[in-house]
Amino acid sequence: MRPARHRAWRARLAGLAGLLLELGSGGGPILSAHAATRTMHCTPDGFALLAPAPTHIIVPASTAAQAALWSGMITLGFSCTSSARGARLGAGRVLGGSTLAAMVSTTGAADGVSVVSAGTPSLSLSRPGCALASLTEKARRWTFGLKATAAGTCAGTLQAPVEFVRGSTTLGADIAASFPLGSTSSAANWVVFPTAPGGVTSSLGLSAAVPLVSGGGCTVSPTALTVALPQVSTSALTTPGQTAGATAFRFPLQTCLAVASGGYAVYASWSFTAAAGYPAVIANTATGAAGAAGKVGVQITDAAGVPVGNGLSYGSLVGSVDPSGASSAQTFLARYYATGAVTPGAVSATATYTLTYQ
C-alpha cells in the first residue's frame, strides 16, 4: 500500500513540475505574442480646424475679464489601424486652461485671449473600429485615450467645443493681437493626439488665423428684453410640437462703435433651462395663485422659424454694424410650444443672452 501511495504522490509531483515547467518556459513568449497582437497606430489629418472660423473677433475695451468672446468647434480628422480588439493608446489632450494665451495684447498675455473647453469632446466615426476611452476632465482640460473595438482601420473626427475667453486683467485700451492663432509654440498646442504605443503623440496649435480687432461693440437698451405673448386657447396646443402666439421682437442695438477695418456682425448666444425632453424649448417657470400652465414652454426662433440653441456654441445673428457705426437688427419670434396636451395657466420663461462681435 505504501509503495503505491508513494508512486501516486510522485506522479502528482511530476505532473505539477511539468505544469510549472510549461508555464515557466511558455509564459514569456505567450504574453509577448499577446501584446504584439494588440498594437495600434494613428495618423491625424486636418488637425485642429475651427469650424466655422470667424474672420475676426471684435474685443471692446469694456469687455469683462473672463468673458466669452466666441465659441466654436475644434475638429481633428484621424485614421487608426489596430491589429486586434482591445488595443489602446493614451496621452491625448484636448484644450488647455485659461493660462494658455492664444492671442495677446500689446501689454502682455494677461490681457489676451485663450482657448478653453466649453463641453465634452465627442468622437464621430466614418469607419468604425475604435472608440474614446478614459475620457476625464480637470481644470478645463480633457485627457483621453483611444481603444480598438475591432481589428482593422477606423477613421473619423474628434470634435471639441471651445470658447475664446478674455484674459483676467482689466484692459486700459482696446485689445490688439500681437500674433494670430496658428502659432507653433508649445504653449499653443491645444490638441495633443496619441499616434503610437509608448506615448508617441502629434501636437499642433490651431491653424485658423483669427485676428482681434480693436473697438466695436454695441449697447442694448434696455438690456432686459420683455416679450409679452398673447393669450391663446389650449385647443391650439393639444399635441407635442404645436406652436401658437408667435410674437416678433428685435434687439434694440444702440451706440454701436465703428471699427476702422470695416463693418461687423452682432451675434447672440442663449442660455436657458430647457423643458424636459425638448432642448430648444425654454421651461415654464410661472408661479402664483393662478397656477402654471402644464405641458408648455416658450421657444425663440429667427425670422425663418429656426430655433435658437442653448449654449455659447449656438450663436444667432441679431444684427449688423456698418463702417460708420450704424446698426440694423434682425427679427426674432417668441412663441408657445406644446410638449403635450397643454393645460390652462400662466406661462413665464427666461433666457439669458450674450452678445459677441465678428
Nearest to 220 by CA among 314, 315, 319, 349: 319
User: Is residue 174 domain-shared with residue 308, that is, in the same domain?
Assistant: no
The answer to whether residue 327 sits within a structural domain is: yes
**Hey, what long-range contacts does 21-25 have (CB within 8 A, 24 or more apart)?**
none
pLDDT of residue 120: 86
Domain boundary residue among 157, 180, 214?
214
User: Is residue 192 domain-shared with residue 226, that is, in the same domain?
Assistant: no
Contacts of 151 (CB under 8 A, 6+ apart): 82, 83, 84, 85, 129
pLDDT of residue 357: 84
Contacts of 110 (CB under 8 A, 6+ apart): 167, 168, 169
User: Is residue 232 domain-shared with residue 321, that is, in the same domain?
Assistant: yes
The tens-digit pLDDT sequence of the chain (358 residues) is 333 333 332 333 222 222 222 222 233 333 333 445 689 999 988 766 666 666 677 777 677 777 777 777 778 889 999 999 999 998 888 876 544 444 554 445 455 666 777 788 889 999 999 999 888 988 778 889 999 999 999 999 988 887 777 766 555 555 544 444 444 444 456 678 899 998 888 876 554 445 666 677 888 888 888 999 999 999 999 999 999 999 999 999 988 888 777 888 898 888 899 999 999 999 999 987 678 999 999 999 999 999 998 876 667 899 999 988 899 999 999 999 999 999 999 999 999 988 888 8
The answer to whether residue 228 sits within a structural domain is: yes
List residues bridging with 254 in a β-sheet: 219
Q: How far is Cα 193 from Cα 79, in angstroms, rounded to an integer?
A: 11
pLDDT of residue 209: 47
Contacts of 137 (CB under 8 A, 6+ apart): 117, 120, 143
Reduced to 3 states, what is the DSSP secondary structure of residue 31? helix
- Model-level pTM? 0.62
Domain range holding 297? 219-357
Q: Which residues of 25-41 are buried (b: 16+ CB within 10 A; e: fewer)?
A: eeeeeeeeeeeeebebb
The answer to whether residue 33 sits within a structural domain is: no
User: Is residue 229 domain-shared with residue 133, that is, in the same domain?
Assistant: no
User: Is residue 313 domain-shared with residue 336, that is, in the same domain?
Assistant: yes
Q: Concatenate the DSSP letters of all residues of 242-299 into one string.
A: -EEEEEEEE--EESPPP-TT--EEEEEEEE-PEETTEEEEEPP---STT-B-EEEEEE
Contacts of 213 (CB under 8 A, 6+ apart): 56, 57, 58, 59, 259, 261, 264
pLDDT of residue 182: 41
Domain boundary residue among 214, 239, 262?
214
Q: In angstroms, what CA-CA distances link 14 with 10, 23, 131?
A: 6, 14, 48
CA–centroid distance for 34 within its chain:
38
CATH code assigned at 270: 2.60.40.1090
To 5 degrees, how large is the angle CA 124–CA 127–CA 182? 50
Q: Which triple of cell numbers denotes residue 76?
A: 481633428
Nearest to 356 by CA among 303, 312, 302: 312
Helices (H), the chain: 2-36
